[in-house]
Amino acid sequence: MTGAPGADAAALARGLAALGFGPWVEARAAGLCPAGCRVARVCAVDRGACLLRDGAGEALARLSGRLEFFADGPDDLPCVGDWVAASFHGDGAQALVHAVLPRRSALRRRAPGGGGGQQMIAANVDTAFIVQACGRDFNPARLERYLVMAADGGVEPVVLLTKADLATGAELDAARAGVRAVARAEALAVSSVTGVGLDALRRALAPGRTYCLLGSSGVGKTTLINGLLGHEAFATRAVSASGEGVHTTTRRQLVALAGGALLVDTPGMRELGVAGAEGGLDAGFAELAALAGACRYADCRHEGEPGCAVRAAVEAGEVPRERYASYLKLRREAEFRELSDLGRRRRDKAFGRLVKSVKKAGRSRGR
């Protein structure tokens, strides 16, 4: 890592450590940080520009032409939470991103709109707080999708039930039972109005670790961040008479909390297509994956095959039918998306070969 001209090396190191820089990132930066560059973390991305932060401060950055040219897709470009190699210019307020360092973990989804491909949400996240509001917003099927997303990206999931002050005791008990049935874990109930659960949440946030808030629009993510920060750092809008929130966050951004933890706020996601990873499904449906080991056939799809341990557990009432149906739906969706991506990649490669052949023919005629 190359320091900034005139910058104190110890101060740079302390600043990077506060952003989560450690041995894992340092080892991977060794061969990817060219001379004249230093490592920085992406704190926001907006219309192709990046806000970088390192031990020397903040800089607005653009991508180098080489990085853009050789990127195979959007997931090769910087996203919030990424570590990058960048050269800084002038007073250090501007920078050029030359490389994206390997990611230790990543949260991603299917790109919305049906165009295919994947959309990066955040990188190098340690824990994802899956946020659902008590009452009307609680949706077990949606929670399953978030759990698969976290497992696919190698991120630890923790479920937060917000707006606990608006829920009756029965509604809160039902939501907690729903979380146990889907996530096989307890959920932390919090309220940004009464402060219930906020101290427990603060104690769970470790310095130098990165957390991400995931949830639908209006479940209280931005209000929760303001509560953790202790002041109104981000604009919010009042909930409706029904208790439903209003979408406020418009971009993903990484913020530093007073205790030293780092938190990624994300806009609410209306579309949550799974990215298509079998490992993520197995981790998100761990009880089904465990049963699958007892199936007669190693490639059992758990639908109509004889000797299927998963189907037997469903028939015996050991696995809820709704849970089994969700697993099949997500698996089929992931498989369909993977086939669609394969076809798109083949078309892109064929088009690339065509462009190259046309250019080659043009050069031959020009001789």
> In this predicted structure, which of 76-85, 150-159, 227-236 has the lowest mean pLDDT?
227-236
Q: Spell out the domain ranges in the chain.
A: 9-100, 106-265, 278-353
Query: Residue 48's closest CA among 33, 64, 35?
Result: 64
What whole-number distance in Å separates Cα of residue 32 and Cα of residue 25? 11
- For the entire predicted model, the pTM comes to 0.78
| CATH number among 3.40.50.300, 3.40.50.720, 2.30.110.10, 1.10.10.10, domain 106-265 | 3.40.50.300
Measure the CA dihedral 144/150/153/154, to 10°: -120
Q: How many helices (H) and strands (E) does the chain have?
A: 11, 13
Question: Does 64 score more than 80 pLDDT?
Answer: yes
Kindly tell me if the per-residue pLDDT of 340 is higher than 60: no
Question: 193 CB contacts (<8 Å, ≥6 apart)?
Answer: 163, 165
The yes-or-no verdict on residue 249 having pLDDT over 50 is: no
- 94 pLDDT exceeds 60? yes
**Lowest-confidence segment of 65-79, 92-106, 300-314, 335-349 by average pLDDT:** 335-349
pLDDT above 90 coverage of the chain, percent: 37
What is the second-level CATH architecture of the domain 278-353?
A: Orthogonal Bundle (1.10)
CA separation for the pair 254, 150 (Å, rounded): 18
Per-residue pLDDT tens over the stretch 170-196: 889 989 988 988 887 789 999 988 889
How high is the mean pLDDT of the chain?
82
Higher pLDDT, 106 or 4: 106
Between the ranges 1-5, 116-120, 247-251, 354-358, where is the mean pLDDT highest? 116-120
Instruction: Give yes or no for a contact between 104 and 210, defined as CB atoms under 8 angstroms apart.
Output: no
The predicted pLDDT at position 365 comes to 61
- Closest C-alpha among 14, 20, 100, 92 to residue 60: 92
Of residues 5 and 37, more confidently modeled: 37
**Under a CB-based contact definition with an 8 Å cutoff, are residues 327 and 287 in contact?**
no
Q: Which whole number is the average pLDDT over 132-151?
A: 84
Task: For tokens 């310095």, name the residue.
Answer: 207
Looking at residue 9, what is its pLDDT? 80
Interatomic CA distance for residues 236 and 226, integer angstroms = 9
- Cα–Cα distance for residue pair 209/152, rounded to 1 Å: 19
Asked, colleague to colleague, whether 106-265 and 278-353 share their fold, the answer is no
Q: Token pair of 211, please? A: 């957390």
Fold of 9-100: OB fold (Dihydrolipoamide Acetyltransferase, E2P) (2.40.50)
Would you say residue 163 has pLDDT above 80? Answer: yes
Of 71, 64, 65, 76, residue with least CA distance to 101: 76
Does 208 score more than 80 pLDDT?
Answer: yes
